[in-house]
């Protein structure tokens, strides 16, 4: 019986390899079924430990995956160090605000203990983002796996590819379309703002200098909310934290959409969701039906996680997430 069981495992492994070759860039939920069967348990346990120690790491890990996928695809390039400060992590949208690099290194170290040289940093980012969301109240979604790690990380590309909190609805749609995501994906993924904090720098222009007019406040902001923001964000303190991005203080839920619907979104890009019929409809429905939002968010995360992935002979499995294998730092 043991021989038969071993033979079945060998056949299954061969079929998985054949499927990977046949389908090329397609990812698979069973990619590590044989080579690293405890992968998801190892990552989940480590993410739970990290978030228990620092609740702010839940949005940090989610944002890392998002910022990775929007630049060169989901290839772990956001994690690469640069001796010349020219990598994605050094770009203004990331530098000083993107968190979780050391934590991803610690997850990778645990995975390497279980399965040396098998699991990519890009896949770890995808799993860690999911597990962080679930840890703080979000709904589980299955993560297709099999990404390889890239070799290039570019500050210039990060600057040109990442969405800005000051974008209009049309600009957001264009930005997401550039990586294969549609307007619905954009609105649902904006719901990730339900966790995390923001610096006053993104709010100050809406409070004191709207449209370049000194003293003008964005009329799309609820006046009472604007008054509260002024107490938190004096015009000369851009690096101060506003606080939690929605009223539920770190829980992954639909409260973000309730806030946006009530004109209490922090970013200009949040308010922009109400300027389109599609955006208004999704905001309204997501505010009313939390279960629906959580399901749609997971679907859009899977779609985002497939952006320009490297598979098969493309890319590599990094030994450490911060450096390519052949020559250390990028």
Residue 87 covered by a domain: yes
The structure's pTM equals 0.90
Work out whether the CA dihedral 155, 200, 172, 247 comes out positive or negative: positive
Task: Please indicate, yes or no, if residue 5 is contained in any of the structural domains.
Answer: no
- Rounded CA separation 192/288 (Å): 17
Q: Which helix (H) or strand (E) holds 197?
A: strand 197-199
Phi–psi pair at 185, nearest 5 degrees: -55, -45
- % residues pLDDT > 70 (the chain): 90
Q: What is the CATH number of the domain that holds 100?
A: 1.10.520.10
CB 27 within 8 Å of CB 147: yes
User: Do 183 and 104 share a structural domain?
Assistant: no
With cut-offs at 50, 70 and 90, classify the pLDDT of residue 96. confident
Tell whether residue 231 is among the known ligand binding residues: no
Domain boundary among 127, 161, 195: 161
Q: What's the residue count for the chain? A: 330
Give domain status of residue 292, yes or no: yes
Specify the residue for token string 């690469």. 80
Q: Are 117 and 195 in the same domain?
A: no
Same structural domain, 118 and 207:
no
Residue 105: which domain range?
A: 38-161
The answer to whether residues 81 and 186 belong to one domain is: no
Q: How far apart are CA 194 and CA 247, in angstroms?
A: 9
Q: Is 68 annotated as a binding residue?
A: yes
Q: How confident is the model at residue 236 (pLDDT cuts 50, 70, 90)?
A: very high
User: In b/e form, how buried is each residue of 282-305, taking b as 16+ CB within 10 angstroms?
Assistant: bbeebbeebeebbebbbebbbbbb
In a domain, 296, yes or no: yes
Residues 286 and 252 in one domain: yes
Residue 19 lies in a domain: no
Which residues have C-beta within 8 Å of that of residue 229, sequence separation ≥ 6?
A: 203, 207, 221, 242
pLDDT of 22 higher than 80: no
Q: Are 196 and 129 in contact (CB under 8 A)?
A: no
Total domains, the chain: 2
Residue 221 counted as domain residue: yes
**pLDDT tens column, 151-181:** 999 999 999 999 999 999 999 999 999 999 9
Choose among 245, 27, 60, 187: nearest CA to 135: 60
Question: Is residue 179 within 8 Å of 282, Cβ to Cβ?
Answer: no
176 & 261 share domain: yes
CA-CA distance, 35 to 110, in Å (whole number)? 15
Q: Are residues 177 and 157 in the same domain?
A: no
The answer to the question of whether 212 is labelled as a binding residue is no
Residue 54 known to bind ligand? no
Residues 202 and 284 in one domain: yes
Contact 125, 325 (CB under 8 A): no
Residue 281 and residue 193 share a domain: yes
Give the residue from 161, 184, 207 where a domain finishes: 161
pLDDT for 219 beyond 50: yes
Domain termination site, one of 114, 138, 161: 161
Higher pLDDT, 12 or 247: 247
Whose CA is closest to 65, among 81, 47, 77? 77
- Both 75 and 136 in one domain: the answer is yes
Average pLDDT rounded to a whole number, residues 319-325: 96
Q: What are the tens digits of pLDDT across the range 269-300?
A: 999 999 999 999 999 999 999 999 999 999 99
Mark whether 292 and 173 lie in a shared domain. yes
| Sheet strands (E) in 48-111 | none
Contact between 69 and 305 under an 8 Å Cβ cutoff? The reply is yes
> pLDDT band at 185, cuts 50/70/90?
very high
Whether residue 313 lies inside any domain: the answer is no
For residue 188, give the CATH number of its domain.
1.10.420.10
Look up residue 46 and give its two tokens. 């480590």
Select the more confidently predicted residue: 248 or 39.
39
* In a shared domain, residues 122 and 179: no
- Mean pLDDT value across the chain: 91
If you average pLDDT over residues 97-114, what whole number do you get?
Answer: 97
- Is 149 annotated to bind ligand? no
Phi-psi region of 81 (alpha: psi -120 to 50; beta: other; left: phi over 0): beta
Active-site residue list: 67
């Amino acid at each position: 019986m043991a021989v038969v069981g071993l033979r079945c495992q060998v056949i299954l492994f061969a079929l998985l390899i054949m499927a990977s070759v046949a389908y090329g860039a397609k990812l698979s939920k069973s990619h590590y079924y044989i080579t690293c069967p405890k992968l998801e348990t190892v990552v989940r346990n480590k993410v739970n430990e990290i978030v228990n120690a620092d609740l702010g790491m839940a949005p940090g890990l989610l944002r890392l995956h998002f910022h990775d996928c929007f630049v060169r695809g989901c290839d772990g390039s956001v994690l690469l160090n640069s001796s010349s400060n020219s990598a994605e992590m050094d770009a203004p949208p990331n530098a000083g605000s993107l968190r979780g690099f050391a934590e991803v290194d610690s997850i990778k170290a645990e995975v390497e203990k279980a399965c040396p040289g098998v699991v990519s940093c890009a896949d770890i980012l995808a799993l860690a983002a999911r597990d962080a969301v679930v840890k703080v109240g979000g709904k589980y979604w299955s993560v297709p796996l099999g990404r390889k790690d890239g070799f290039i990380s570019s500050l210039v590309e990060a600057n040109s590819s990442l969405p800005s909190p000051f974008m209009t609805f049309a600009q957001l749609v264009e930005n997401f379309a550039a990586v294969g995501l549609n307007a619905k994906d954009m609105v649902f993924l904006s719901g990730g703002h339900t966790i995390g904090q923001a610096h006053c720098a993104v709010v100050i222009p809406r409070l004191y200098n709207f449209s370049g007019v000194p003293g003008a406040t964005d009329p799309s902001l609820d006046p009472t909310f604007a008054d509260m923001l002024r107490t938190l964000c004096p015009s000369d303190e851009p690096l101060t934290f506003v606080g939690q991005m929605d009223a539920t203080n770190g829980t992954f839920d639909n409260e973000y959409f309730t806030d946006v619907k009530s004109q209490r979104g922090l970013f200009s890009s949040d308010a922009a969701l109400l300027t389109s019929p599609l955006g208004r409809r999704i905001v309204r429905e997501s505010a009313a039906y939390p279960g629906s939002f959580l399901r749609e968010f997971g679907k859009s995360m899977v779609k985002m996680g497939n952006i320009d992935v490297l598979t098969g002979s493309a890319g590599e499995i990094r030994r450490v997430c911060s450096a390519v294998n052949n020559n250390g730092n990028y």
